[in-house]
Amino acid sequence: MDRQAILNELKLVLEPYTEDKEMLRGINDGTDLVKDLKINSANLVDIIIDAETKYNVEIDLDSAEKMITVGSCIDVIMAKMDR
Amino acid sequence: MMSAGNDIVALEIIDRQRSSQPAFYSKILSAGEQALYRQEDLKEMFFDLFLWLLWSVKESVYKYKKRTSPSLSFCPAKIILQSIDLPSGRSLTDFTGRRWENTGYEEDEFYKGIILFGSEIFYSRSIIHRQLISTVVSSDRSFEGILWGLEMIDQPGYERQSAAVRAFALSKLERIAPGHDWQIIKSPVGYPIVLQGGRETDIPLSLAHHGRFVGYSFLSVPFLSSPSQPAPSQSSPSLPLRPPSQMAARS
């Protein structure tokens, strides 16, 4: 699965947690989950759990800490899928 | 460097069922904190309440540290609650009225925690109602000079929350020190900066919002505690003003 495919799926993962649907449609690697998508920090664990379920991976604490932008989320998911 | 940290969890909108799943809570709680929950007095709390109490404590510490460590990322399981004292009366009540502002930090209504993050110790005060948990933290166990407030708003939504929490904090600043032309902007990192007459101050402010609730905490520097003091000029040496460098766009 390439980055673009993961990015497209990630939009579906993030959708329940952001009010800014227009911003969500235009996300890229640099989009910050909290600052740009205005996702409440209380939902960050939800997103990690949803990603774990969607990609059948386990995201450890050190990796979860890196999931700040869309790009870093994709990096973590791809690294876990490669294992 | 002085800082501030607070957080709010709107219990009305969290997924309480998911909160009780090990895959979820193990990303927030350390093994030691999970063991702490099994203490006799803590077992009286619903586990999800314990979880979100600790979340709000950890988020508050993170916000406190983010001001001085801009590259810091949030990993809740690395911010460790060492101990917590519970209020004697632990039956949950409704959040009544529109606003709540603290008048002290030793009241029996608070959950009082001690937290270790790296080699630093922090202290927390949390209040829990049926609708929300709110926490404020400090590296000073006396909490001297720290102000903390909560407000319920009519409509949730990011833009409304953001506007309401700024208005609430500004109203508190204005009530303490009227006529100082207070403004709040957001730093590039994301923490709020208090301006006075367009110039940056050293007043550390933390803002939080979730669901229908917004809240502030800030450390009132000495001149703020003297409401009778006239609005000082910008050249006053007593003001904690900084040059207008590193200013960010209004949030």
Task: Give chain A positions within 8 Å (CB) of B23.
Answer: 49, 52
The pLDDT assigned to B229 comes to 47
Average pLDDT value over all residues in chain A: 93
Q: Could you tell me if A79 lies within 8 Å of chain B, comparing CB atoms?
A: no
For chain B, residues with pLDDT lower than 50 are 226-251
* CATH class of the domain whose range is A3-82: mainly alpha
Q: Is the predicted pLDDT of residue A82 greater than 90, yes or no?
A: no
Q: Could you tell me if A75 lies within 8 Å of chain B, comparing CB atoms?
A: no
Q: Cα–Cα distance between B142 and B139 in angstroms, integer? A: 9
Is B78 in Cβ contact with A61 (below 8 Å)?
Answer: yes
In a domain, B205, yes or no: yes
In a domain, B245, yes or no: no
The pLDDT assigned to B222 comes to 56
Interface test with A, best of B7, B9, B21, B27 (most A CBs within 10 A): B27
CA distance B205 to chain A (A): 18
CATH assignment at residue B199: 3.90.470.20
Amino acid identity at A13: V
Q: Where are the domains of chain A?
A: 3-82
In a domain, B108, yes or no: yes
Q: How many CB atoms lie within 10 A of CB B200?
A: 21
The pLDDT assigned to B89 comes to 76
Is A52 in Cβ contact with B75 (below 8 Å)?
Answer: no
Q: Cα–Cα distance between A43 and A36 in angstroms, integer? A: 15
Q: Cα–Cα distance between B53 and B58 in angstroms, integer? A: 9
Asked if B171 and B153 touch (Cβ cutoff 8 Å), the reply is: no
Task: Give chain A positions within 8 Å (CB) of B15.
Answer: 46
**Nearest residue on chain A to B63, judged by CA atoms?**
A41
Q: Could you tell me if B190 lies within 8 Å of chain A, comparing CB atoms?
A: yes
Task: Give chain B positions within 8 Å (CB) of A65.
Answer: 73-75, 78
Count of structural domains, chain B? 1
Is B15 in Cβ contact with A35 (below 8 Å)?
Answer: no
Q: What is the pLDDT of residues A21-41, one digit of tens each?
A: 999 999 999 999 999 999 988
Asked if B110 and B127 touch (Cβ cutoff 8 Å), the reply is: yes
**Nearest residue on chain A to B53, judged by CA atoms?**
A42
Q: Give the structural domain span for B26.
A: 5-225
- Nearest partner of B149 among B100, B208, B221, judged by Cα: B100
In a domain, B10, yes or no: yes
pTM for this predicted structure: 0.89
Is B27 in Cβ contact with A48 (below 8 Å)?
Answer: yes
The pLDDT assigned to B106 comes to 87
In a domain, B157, yes or no: yes
In a domain, B238, yes or no: no
The set of long-range contacts for A18-22, using a CB threshold of 8 Å and a minimum separation of 24, is A19/B157, A19/B158, A20/B158
How far out from the chain centre does Cα A77 lie?
8
Q: In what order do the strands lie in the sheet with B111-117?
A: B5-10, B132-138, B120-128, B111-117, B79-85
